[in-house]
Amino acid sequence: MNDARIIDRGRGPEIADTRITVYDLIDYLEHGWRPSAIADLFQITEQQVNAGIRYLDAHRSEVMAAYRRNLERVSAGNSPDLQAKLDASHQKMLALREELASAAVEGNRNARSGARR
């Protein structure tokens, strides 16, 4: 369904029946993209893009303030606690990958030595 309404499910204002937020449109609009080109990019209708533009125009200060906060949060990176968890998880993955690679090499050796008998 191509519903040209803006709703908020907790991620900010988004185009109904999509996961495209009004924030997703901002950079393209600021760089002069036409609504038809944005619609093609996100595989939505031009009417849906226009609904996002109308919402942005009607709530510009609120949307832009939230957009700036989001950009600041993203540019700050992960918290030290989260980064430590991500690093630990990455090390576990590398160890598992090495273990699997070693097992594959050993399996190939066994297969070759069994074939020679």
**CATH number reported for the structural domain that contains residue 50 in this entry:** 1.10.10
CA distance 22 to 75: 20
Asked whether the whole model's pTM tops 0.85, one would answer: no
Nearest-5° angle of CA 66, CA 70, CA 73?
135
Confirm whether 24 is domain-assigned. yes
**Mind listing the pLDDT tens digit for each residue in 26-65?**
999 999 999 999 999 999 999 999 999 999 999 999 999 9
The least confident of 40-44, 95-99, 102-106, 113-117 is 113-117
**pLDDT for 78:** 79
Q: Do 24 and 55 have their domain in common?
A: yes
The least confident of 26-30, 32-36, 76-80, 113-117 is 113-117
Q: Do 18 and 48 have their domain in common?
A: yes
Distances (CA, A) of 91 to 33, 68, 83, 97: 42, 34, 12, 10
